[in-house]
Chains A and B, each alone.
Chain A
Amino acid sequence: GAGVSQSPRYKVAKRGQDVALRCDPISGHVSLFWYQQALGQGPEFLTYFQNEAQLDKSGLPSDRFFAERPEGSVSTLKIQRTQQEDSAVYLCASSSSGIGNQPQHFGDGTRLSIL
């Protein structure tokens, strides 16, 4: 497709379960970002890939969060042993530039609810 695609759109999990969220960026985009958006807030940075290299993971809230982009295209964000505070919308964005002067194009997000 032409845009960033995220799946699933909605995910409900019980506390303690592991979840995996997928992001398919715009073809050819070098940079890929994950953000977490809590209800009523702006997105907050989680992690950044340039091609397959994870260059910044400073925003990951704990070691339960893990992201990968093994072939430099599709990315997966995994959350282990989920907790209620992990409930949020997880947004993926891609960009053609690695230096931040090009806009980031966002997917529609995955809304994660932890029961």
Chain B
Amino acid sequence: AQSVAQPEDQVNVAEGNPLTVKCTYSVSGNPYLFWYVQYPNRGLQFLLKYITGDNLVKGSYGFEAEFNKSQTSFHLKKPSALVSDSALYFCAVRALGGSQGNLIFGKGTKLSVKP
């Protein structure tokens, strides 16, 4: 069965420091991986995706993620965190079988960036 794990409930970072939000996945076959961000009382906003190709994917708002097949990981990174990056971050993998379109989400990681 496909699954996504986000091992950290919360990540605390000082503004200007690099940030990493971890994600590991379990899926048979080639994964389609996504990162989304959710602000309070809002829906999820797409940040970036990995489908195929270059393992380093660049996305919105200066975020990037590195696909590592051997470690089955897709960690989200940003070189210099902003206070406005504080939000809830979700990693997701496309489900295989069935509709082959719906996403399986991790439980989320709360990112807190302090001034």
Contact = CB atoms under 8 A, between A and B. Distances in A.
Interface string B72-109: 00000000000000000010101100111111111110
Contacts of B102: 33, 45, 48, 56, 59, 100
A44 to B, nearest CB: 7
Interface string B24-66: 0000000010101000011111100101000000000000000
Contact of B41 (A43, A100, A103, A108): A108
Contact of B101 (A42, A98, A107): A98
Interface size band for A: 20 to 34
A99 B103 contact: no
23 contacts: A33-B103, A40-B107, A42-B4, A43-B105, A44-B105, A45-B95, A45-B104, A48-B98, A50-B99, A56-B102, A58-B98, A91-B43, A93-B43, A95-B101, A97-B101, A98-B101, A99-B100, A99-B101, A100-B101, A101-B49, A103-B34, A103-B49, A105-B46
